Chains A and B, each alone.
Chain A
Amino acid sequence: MSNTERPPVVDWATDFDHTHPDYGQNAPEIWDELRATCPVAHTERFGGTWLPVTHEAVSAIAHDTENYTSMGVVVSENKPEIPAPMGFAPPITSDPPFHAIARRLLLEPFAPKPVKALEQYTRDCCNGLIDDILASGSDLTDAATEYAQHIPVRIIAKMLGVPETDGDKFRRFIHQIIETPGADTVDEDGGGSFDEYLDAAIAEHRANPKPPGEGDLIDHLTQADIEGTPLLDEHVRGTIALLLIAGIDTTWSSIGAALWHLASHPEDRARYTNEPEIRLFAIEEFLRFYAPVTMARIAVTDHELGGCPVKAGDWLLLPFPAANRDPEAFDDADKFIIDRQQNRHGAFGLGIHRCLGSNLARMELAVAIDTWTERIPDFELSDPDAVRWSVGQIRGPRELPVRINLDTVNR
């Protein structure tokens, strides 16, 4: 996905390509131009795909489960063949009415109060990573690979009740899945495949069930039922895989993007550090301005969208990041305002698929940035040209070299 050469794009209104490096580099400018000229862009690529860039259209599609299905949420050359309503990874690929059933199983462990209970663990984890960075003695580090990348995997490992050290294994597995969907996964450590790993964890939890209320997320799923029938191992496995795929690169991206912003904007860096009362707003502004996730839908009817003829079977991208920068929906939409008071951003989606992990992701982002700025209040990009952002539907810095001012760190 990341290394394939994409044919050049001449006209973004009629031949856009969201996986092209030029889109990765210039997306906000491309959206602005499209909003002024052609707010629902089209491409023949991927078998026919639409790109609406206004908040109004993105929101309308996200709220419309009659004309669009979630069966396919990542645009690719081939459409998934699994029939709705379940899709291959419920609830993200499910449509009503099954969606609500699959989603409901997961709502409780991801509600704000259980997530709050993980805050101290998350803070300890962030502090541990910073201890390692500072222990190296060097003033150079990579905030993406040495810090941001490790946080979501460790927290989800803790929630699942598997060793924290398996975090790196998850990252390798999910990258194989994202890069070559459908292919068998292999563990570079010489262990089994992802499915074998998950089956073993599920079997272990079924053999040693914990009392209700004391279990981890795998216990929650192995002990759950749909109208009296326990979940099949397959369902449990699919759900865990979804949580890993949906929760890791996304959160890593938003932590990295926030650190990129602070590294390159000294005034905001100082305000974040010195004015704790603005942090609640700053976190949401990071999410709005650097929203990492673009989803997709497949049209199920022939219909018009903003005057454009959408055909059943066409892909539609749902660029929440573009919706978040629409001047019709936000004052000074193109400006990062660290204490923005009105911010109905859609970084976590809109409508029934609202990110199930949003409370967790927001907590991780806030704790990660608080901990970093408390321990390392002064830092900057050490080599701006070496920063590398991912391309495609999840956008964030994958390499983020920074220089730390060692005179100001709190060891």
Chain B
Amino acid sequence: MKITYNREACQGHNRCYMLAPELFDVDDEGYAILRIDGEIPAELEEKAQLAADNCPEYAIELVTE
């Protein structure tokens, strides 16, 4: 499973950073930074799902190949 983050849609609600700090950091202005590239480690899949399910701007998506 992979995770995608759309910087254009992100408004800095920071729900992702609170729910999944292993996957998301936050920049000085409060916008999200995706910390991983490629496959989500299995133990973080649940957190990735939470981040996606709680982003009010639909800026995070999970993709399964």
Are A344 and B53 in contact (CB-based, < 8 A)? yes
The residues of B that contact A359 with a CB separation of less than 8 Å are 14, 30
Whether, in the assembled complex, B18 has its beta carbon less than 8 Å from a beta carbon of chain A, the answer is yes
Known: A341-B50, A348-B13. A110 touches B30 (CB 8 A): yes
Contacts of B1-54 to chain A: CB distance below 8 A: 11-15, 17-19, 26-30, 50, 53-54
The residues of B that contact A343 with a CB separation of less than 8 Å are 53-54
Q: List 29 A-B contacts (CB under 8 A).
A: A107-B12, A107-B28, A107-B29, A108-B28, A108-B29, A108-B30, A111-B12, A111-B26, A112-B17, A112-B26, A113-B26, A280-B19, A284-B15, A284-B54, A341-B50, A341-B53, A342-B54, A344-B54, A344-B55, A344-B56, A345-B56, A346-B56, A348-B13, A350-B57, A351-B11, A351-B57, A354-B13, A358-B13, A359-B30
Interface of A with B (CB < 8 Å)?
104, 107-108, 110-113, 280, 284, 341-346, 348, 350-352, 354, 358-359
Question: Number of contacts between A and B (CB, 8 Å)?
Answer: 52
Are A111 and B11 in contact (CB-based, < 8 A)? no
Shortest distance from the beta carbon of A209 to any chain B beta carbon, whole Å: 21
Shortest distance from the beta carbon of B19 to any chain A beta carbon, whole Å: 7
Interface class of chain B by DSSP: loop
Interface class of chain A by DSSP: helix
The residues of A that contact B12 with a CB separation of less than 8 Å are 107, 111, 354
Interface of B with A (CB < 8 Å)?
11-15, 17-19, 26-30, 50, 53-58
The residues of B that contact A108 with a CB separation of less than 8 Å are 28-30
Cα of A345 to Cα of B53 in the assembled complex, Å: 11
Are A350 and B18 in contact (CB-based, < 8 A)? no
A350 contact from B11, B26, B28, Cβ within 8 A: B11
Shortest distance from the beta carbon of B57 to any chain A beta carbon, whole Å: 7
The residues of B that contact A112 with a CB separation of less than 8 Å are 14, 17, 26, 30
Cα of A108 to Cα of B19 in the assembled complex, Å: 21
